[in-house]
Amino acid sequence: GGTRAIATLPGDGIGPEIMDVAVKVLEIVGEAEGVDLRFEEHAIGGDAIDKTGCPLPDETLAACKESDAVLLAAIGGYKWDNLSSKDRPEGGLLQLRAGLDCFANLRPATLEDELLEGSPLKPDIIKGVDIMIVRELVGGIYFGQPRGFMDEEGDRAGYNTMVYKKSEVERIARVAFEIAKQRKGRIVSVDKANVLEVSQLWRQTVADAFEEDGCSSDGLELANMYVDNCAMQLCSNPSQFDVILTGNIFGDILSDQASVITGSLGMLPSASVSSPGKPGIYEPVHGSAPDIAGQDIANPLGMVLSAAMMCRYGLNEPEMADIIEDAVKDVLAKGYRTGDLMGSSPPGAELIQVGCTQMGELLLQSIAE
């Protein structure tokens, strides 16, 4: 019970379409469970650039800091692609994550049995896949200094710095250890330690923290894998993975890849969490999908499942999360699919293609039943 303040950030492209579905679902589930959710919408990304000239207005950051949780849809689009890194929509999202110190990005890639035949990967390879990617979110090459452009001997160069401090690696590693204790206990730390010093420090720090925390006696197992091999193994043998612990850019890439197991990038939710008591950001893994925006065909389920993660981790309302996740399973079991999940459906399957709004209505119906 009680009142909760949710900052909603619809952003750009399909963002407002999928946010609309998530808010309607949350409203009805909140009502059923006696949780009074107060939504307040704020501008971010390209939308905020158009309204205020800045991708993360001070007002938005302040409101997010004051909230109990931040629900974010997606940002970005062709219109703003030529702005400098910090002025573009993506800069706003990165400043928000850093501003709230949301250092731990939890990206579950779970295959619902209903979608077994929908993935381009073979059913016997992906059956039962349940992976949690724990991605460091406020460090690494996304934030390292120096960065920029320079002229050198008549040539032009662009450069970034991939850097991690021991303390940054320790805190994300400990999040992965805690999560692994609630799961199968197998952690694979992914890096490029055969080439990069930053990865050598990463690998050593993870091993030391594992040892220091006595993780072996808690039944945890730690293995290391190079990122190129991991990308391959995610396609060829994804069932081996339980928890994948990795840095900012590798986690970005591997999570899009892992989404293929579930049938579509549009299915994957995420939680970007900070220290206990501080608000987290709940956001789908995918972007603003400008290629399909405004057509009411986007898959809202990654967004809706992010709202469920918000209930579970951000609001401590696991019953609300269960109701939402059950509704998603129910509509999938009944054969309803947005276009992104239709592509590789087997011949003869009784699937019903629906749009974004209609998928939302089906979720509401399922919850009411």
Question: Where does this chain bind ligand NAD (CB under 6 A)?
Answer: 14, 74-77, 90, 93, 265-266, 283, 286-292, 298-299, 302, 340
Task: Spot the catalytic one: 47, 68, 252, 340.
Answer: 252
φ and ψ at residue 83, rounded to 5 degrees: -80, 165
Q: Which stretch binds ligand IPM (CB under 6 A): 34-42, 86-94, 162-170, 317-325?
A: 86-94
Smallest gap, in angstroms, from Cβ of residue 248 to Mn ion?
Answer: 10
Tell me how crowded residue 222 is: count the other CB atoms within 10 A of its CB.
22
130-159 burial code (b ≥16 CB/10 A, e <16): ebbbbbbbbbbbbbbeeeeeeeeeeeeeee
Name the binder of 94 from ligand NAD, ligand IPM, Mn ion, none, CB < 5-8 A by kind: ligand IPM
Give me the helices (H) in the chain, please: 15-33, 45-52, 58-66, 89-99, 123-126, 166-181, 197-212, 227-236, 248-259, 301-309, 318-333, 356-368
Residue with tokens 């091993």, as numbered in its chain: 207
Give the amino acid at 302.
Answer: G
Supply the minimum distance, in Å, between the C-beta of residue 23 and ligand NAD.
16
x-or-dash string of contact with Mn ion, 209-248, rule CB under 5 A: ----------------------------------------
- Which part of the chain contacts ligand IPM (CB under 6 A), choosing from 87-95, 149-157, 330-338, 342-350? 87-95
Residue nearest to Mn ion (CB): 252
Catalytic residue among 79, 228, 278, 326: 228
Catalytic pick among 12, 20, 68, 142: 142
Q: Is 228 a catalytic residue?
A: yes
DSSP labels for 16-42?
HHHHHHHHHHHHHHHHHHTEEEEEEE-
Q: Which tokens belong to 237?
A: 């043998």
User: Nearest to ligand IPM by Cβ — which residue?
Assistant: 90
- DSSP structure string for 330-358: HHHHTTEE-GGGTTTPPTT---EE--HHH
For ligand NAD, the closer CB: 120 or 128: 120
Whose Cβ is closer to Mn ion: residue 25's or residue 73's? Answer: 73
Cα dihedral 339, 341, 344, 350, rounded to 10, equals: -90
Q: Which residue has the tokens 């849809």?
A: 73
How far, CA to CA in Å, does 213 sit from each of 170, 173, 224, 225?
11, 11, 18, 21
Annotated catalytic residue within 87, 101, 213, 256: 256
- For residue 334 the two structure tokens come to 């009944």
Per CB under 6 A, 116 contacts ligand IPM = no
Q: Which is nearer to ligand IPM, 74 or 362 (CB)?
A: 74
Contact 309, 270 (CB under 8 A): yes
Interface residue with Mn ion among 90, 136, 191, 252 (CB under 5 A) is: 252
Residue 192 annotated as catalytic: yes
| Least gap, CB of 191 to ligand IPM (angstroms) | 18
Reference 186, options 126, 128, 236, 240; nearest CA is: 240
Task: Name which of residues 231 to 260 contact ligand IPM (CB under 6 A).
Answer: 252
| Segment near ligand IPM (CB under 6 A); pick from 40-48, 88-96, 160-168, 181-189 | 88-96
Among 21, 56, 73, 94, binds ligand IPM (CB under 6 A): 94
Q: How far apart are CA 108 and CA 53, in angstroms?
A: 34
Is residue 90 near ligand IPM by the rule CB under 6 A?
yes
In the complex with ligand IPM, the residue whose CB is nearer, 85 or 204, is 85
- The answer to whether 93 contacts ligand IPM (rule: CB under 6 A) is yes
So which residues are the catalytic ones? 142, 192, 228, 252, 256
Footprint of ligand IPM on this chain (CB under 6 A)? 76, 90, 93-94, 252, 285, 287
Footprint of Mn ion on this chain (CB under 5 A)? 252
